[in-house]
């Protein structure tokens, strides 16, 4: 797991909101060309990790390194230029823009024409726009949603909107993409497509995803980081993490009553036999 | 307008000349691809149309057209700020006041050529817009509305401030004496038509620039920051910077509008910039269709014409005085309510709807 160099490093990151410790000395690496899953029960600090990486939240202690360089005082709008893109839990598509315009906004990083060439409609502004549109269309085609390019997001089914949001993140050609609950609200079939898509991404871009949907996590992640009450309690391959007693305890609570314990042992044996089903932790997590 | 472009149209057009359809197709494609060509063509058409219009009507109507044109300048800037950028400004009249006073001061003290004077007015208001924009970038919704409202209420009051009454003329304001129409136009050329020309030319330039801007990257970044600030930032848009740029642009347009107001009414006085002016501008922009530049024109036309009809002595002669004097506001308010109820996207939205209906009927008939 340590062979590829770390793209992003978190070291002893601590975040406090007043008296609440949202992250408590969290350290982990995001290796290049891999899919890293961040999981944990509700309120474990998963989204805070994303917010720290994105510069929405400054860590009280600890530091971040991006490609070996310290990452301090960066602001959310710097991310795409650094090579980091993020999708949002609530999609955050712009309802007033068409699908292709939404994706073109994501391609802002590649825009060259400035204010004056826009004001006087110089040919370079037109060329710039055409290039951005091409980029956006290419990505929409790749994700299979090119035919809705001229529509507004509000007219589209949720699954298609999710693809558009993903296209908007990927069009910046990031080195790292942060996916915040990519499977939320998708049907089983759509989740399978999403899994294939994320695995396909791995060749070009590293992925970190926060996800409640354990089947997806177990299927697509190379590494999994488990948080509980702001502390990192386990990390490793999906299989390692699934069997980690600390992780099981975190999802089920410490004091396990009889029926839950039964399920736990059942789930445990099941996963040993059929790792690809990703039973155990996943099914419990969804119930919890 | 300095719009000299190398126009490759004739060469390509000749290549496709044999087929009329192909020729038209090439021109259309060319126009679609080249924003500059498209907008410049529209601007030239507008200038020619306005030149005919102002020549065909009475001097009184010319003056009305001049009024509409400077309102268009301010409203067009406001529709970009509010409609596309989602920033409320209830203080746009204050920027017009800054533009008007700058025009009056520069014209009275240095007697620069009018273009330079108006450019100075634009520059000064742009600086004011920058300062307000920096503050406003941190404010949202009702707070922004409140801050800009305070600007509209407070700024015109400044002229009564003791140390500057000498400079700004207090409540009486400053009189402006713009240059008369050039003699080349003939001795009897009406002043009103000259004023309408100046005003309309400026309005066309403003529309041309804003149309360019809204068809560029900024025209996308603005609605993005309006719709979802966080998603916009994550896409690499510097939200605060975009907002400040918009504020500067909107203020500069209002400054030009104010400068033209001073030139057309030959006066820069606090009475010309009451709070109602700012509110009427917002109303005009909503009425015309938020975020639509064409809508800013419709809104401005209604804003100038409706009170004019309402204050027509023939119509209001039999009404009690206090009803008649409030009639313009009443009618404008009614028009605003009716249009907003019928067409939530304003008059421009209504026109588009009608256009779509007509198109559908036509295709149904042929198909």
Q: What is the CATH number of the domain that holds B232?
A: 1.10.3470
Concatenating the DSSP letter of every residue in B190-245 gives -HHHHHHHHHHHHHHHHHHHHHHHHTSTHHHHHHHHHH-HHHHHHTT--HHHHHHH
- Identify the domain containing residue B127 by its residue range: 34-366
pLDDT digits (tens, 9 = 90+) for A141-169: 999 899 999 999 999 999 899 999 999 99
Tell whether B230 is within 8 A of chain A (Cβ): yes
pLDDT value of position A68: 84
Please state, as a whole number, how many other Cβ atoms lie within 10 Å of the Cβ of residue B228: 21
pLDDT band at A262 (very low <50, low <70, confident <90, very high): low
Q: Is A161 on the interface with B (CB under 8 A)?
A: no
Cα–chain center distance at B181: 24
Total domains present in chain B: 1
Q: Would the CB atoms of A108 and B213 count as touching at under 8 Å? A: no
- Short-list A174, A250, A166, A182, CA closest to A215: A182
How far is the C-alpha of A3 from the C-alpha of B77, rounded, in Å?
56
Which among A166, A151, A282 has a CA at the least distance from the CA of B234?
A166
Q: Which two tokens stand for residue B363?
A: 């295709």
pLDDT digits (tens, 9 = 90+) for B264-292: 999 888 888 988 889 889 989 998 988 89
- Residue B348, domain member (yes or no): yes
Is there a domain that residue B23 lies in? Answer: no
Is there a contact between B152 and B94 (Cβ–Cβ < 8 Å)? Answer: yes
| Among B95-109, B112-126, B136-150, B241-255, the least confident range | B136-150
Report whether pLDDT(A196) > 80.
yes
Give the mean pLDDT of B115-142.
91
Task: Name the β-bridge partners of A208.
Answer: A36, A178
Residues B101 and B262: their CA atoms lie apart, in Å, by 8
pLDDT confidence band for A134 (50 / 70 / 90): very high
> Where do we find the tokens 């099914």?
A283
In sequence order, which residues have a C-beta less than 8 Å from that of residue A239 and are 6 or more positions away? A271, A275
pLDDT of residue A269: 42
- Sorting pLDDT into bands at 50, 70 and 90, what band is A279? very low
Residue at B19 is within a domain? no
In a domain, B4, yes or no: no
Whether residue B2 is contained in a domain is answered as no
| H helix count then E strand count, chain B | 17, 2
Residue A276 pLDDT exceeds 90: no
Kindly give, in sequence order, each residue whose CB lies less than 8 Å from that of residue B241, ignoring residues fewer than 6 positions away: none
Please say whether the beta carbons of B180 and B191 come within 8 A.
yes
Query: Residue B88's pLDDT band (boundaries 50, 70, 90)?
Result: confident
Q: Check: CB of residue B208 under 8 Å from CB of residue B43.
A: yes
Angle at B357 between CA B356 and CA B363, to 5 degrees: 85
| Within a domain: B13 | no
Of B212, B223, B236, the CB nearest to A121: B212
The percentage of residues in chain B with a pLDDT greater than 90, rounded to a whole number, is: 43
User: With the C-alpha atoms ordered B224, B225, B226, B231, is the resulting torsion angle positive or negative?
Assistant: positive
Asked, for residue B218, whether it belongs to a domain, the answer is: yes
Can you tell me the mean pLDDT for A2-11?
Answer: 75
Cross-chain residue pair B221–A104, CB shorter than 8 Å: no
pLDDT bracket for residue B1 (50, 70, 90): very low
- Dist. CA B240–CA B233, nearest whole Å: 9
Please determine, for residue A137, whether its predicted confidence score (pLDDT) is greater than 90: yes
pLDDT in tens, B32-45: 888 888 999 999 99
> In this structure, is residue B319 part of a structural domain?
yes
Place of tokens 């590293």: A206
B164 compared with A153, residue with greater pLDDT: A153
Q: Cβ–Cβ of A92/B39 closer than 8 Å?
A: no
| Binary contact (B226, A96; C-beta < 8 A) | yes
Q: What is the mean pLDDT of residues B9-16?
A: 42
């Amino acid at each position: 797991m340590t062979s590829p160099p770390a793209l992003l490093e978190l070291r002893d990151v601590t975040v406090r909101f007043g008296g609440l410790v949202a992250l408590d000395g969290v350290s982990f690496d995001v290796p290049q060309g891999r899919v890293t899953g961040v999981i944990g029960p509700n309120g474990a600090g998963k989204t805070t990790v994303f917010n720290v990486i994105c510069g929405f939240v400054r860590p009280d202690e600890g530091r971040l390194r991006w490609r070996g360089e310290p990452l301090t005082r960066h602001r959310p709008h710097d991310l795409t230029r650094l090579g980091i893109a993020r999708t949002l839990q609530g999609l955050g598509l712009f309802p007033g823009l068409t699908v292709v315009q939404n994706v073109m906004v994501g391609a802002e990083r590649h825009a060259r024409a400035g204010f004056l060439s826009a004001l006087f409609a110089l040919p370079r502004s037109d060329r710039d726009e055409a290039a951005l549109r091409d980029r956006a269309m290419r990505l929409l085609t790749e994700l299979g949603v090119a035919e809705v390019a001229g529509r507004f997001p509000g007219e589209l089914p949720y699954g298609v909107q999710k693809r558009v949001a993903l296209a908007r993140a990927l069009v910046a050609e990031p080195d790292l993409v942060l996916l915040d609950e990519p499977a939320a609200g998708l049907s089983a079939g759509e989740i399978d497509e999403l899994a294939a898509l994320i695995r396909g991404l791995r060749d070009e871009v590293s992925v970190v995803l926060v996800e409640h949907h354990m089947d997806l996590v177990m299927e697509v992640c190379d590494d999994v980081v488990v948080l509980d009450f702001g502390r990192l309690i386990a990390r490793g391959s999906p299989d390692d993490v699934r069997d980690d007693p600390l992780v099981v305890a975190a999802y089920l609570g410490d004091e396990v009553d009889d029926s839950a314990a039964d399920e736990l042992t059942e789930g445990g044996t099941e996963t040993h036999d059929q790792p690809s089903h990703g039973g155990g932790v996943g099914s419990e997590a969804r119930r919890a | 307008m300095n719009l000299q472009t190398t126009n490759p149209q004739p060469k390509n057009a000749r290549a496709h000349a044999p087929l009329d359809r192909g020729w038209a197709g090439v021109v259309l494609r060319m126009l679609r691809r080249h924003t500059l060509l498209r907008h410049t063509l529209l601007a030239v058409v507008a200038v020619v149309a306005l030149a005919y219009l102002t020549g065909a009507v009475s001097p009184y109507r010319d003056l009305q057209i001049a009024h509409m044109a400077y309102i268009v300048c301010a409203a067009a800037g406001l529709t970009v700020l509010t409609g596309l950028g989602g920033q409320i400004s209830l203080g746009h009249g204050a920027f017009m006041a800054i533009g008007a006073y700058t025009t009056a001061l520069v014209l009275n003290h240095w007697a620069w050529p009018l273009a330079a004077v108006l450019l100075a007015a634009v520059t000064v208001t742009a600086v004011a817009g920058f300062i307000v924009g920096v503050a406003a970038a941190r404010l949202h919704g009702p707070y922004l509305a409140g801050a800009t409202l305070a600007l509209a209420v407070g700024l015109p009051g400044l002229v009564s401030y003791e140390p500057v009454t000498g400079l700004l003329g207090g409540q009486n304001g400053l009189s402006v004496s713009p240059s008369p129409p050039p003699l080349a136009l003939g001795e009897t050329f009406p002043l009103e038509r000259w004023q309408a020309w100046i005003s309309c030319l400026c309005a066309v330039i403003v529309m041309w620039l804003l149309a360019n801007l809204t068809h560029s990257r900024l025209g996308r970044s603005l609605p993005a920051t309006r719709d979802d600030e966080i998603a916009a930032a994550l896409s690499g848009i510097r939200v605060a910077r975009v907002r400040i740029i918009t504020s500067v642009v909107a203020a500069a347009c209002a400054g030009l509008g104010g400068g033209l107001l001073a030139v057309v009414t030959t006066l820069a006085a606090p009475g010309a910039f009451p709070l109602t002016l700012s509110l009427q501008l917002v109303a005009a922009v909503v009425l015309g269709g938020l975020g639509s530049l064409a809508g800013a024109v419709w809104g401005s036309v209604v804003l100038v014409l409706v009170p004019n009809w309402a204050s027509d002595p023939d119509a209001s002669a039999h009404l009690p005085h206090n009803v008649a004097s409030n009639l313009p506001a009443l009618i404008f308010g009614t028009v605003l309510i009716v249009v907003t109820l019928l067409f939530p996207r304003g008059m421009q939205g209504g026109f588009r709807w009608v256009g779509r209906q007509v198109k559908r009927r036509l295709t149904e008939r042929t198909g």
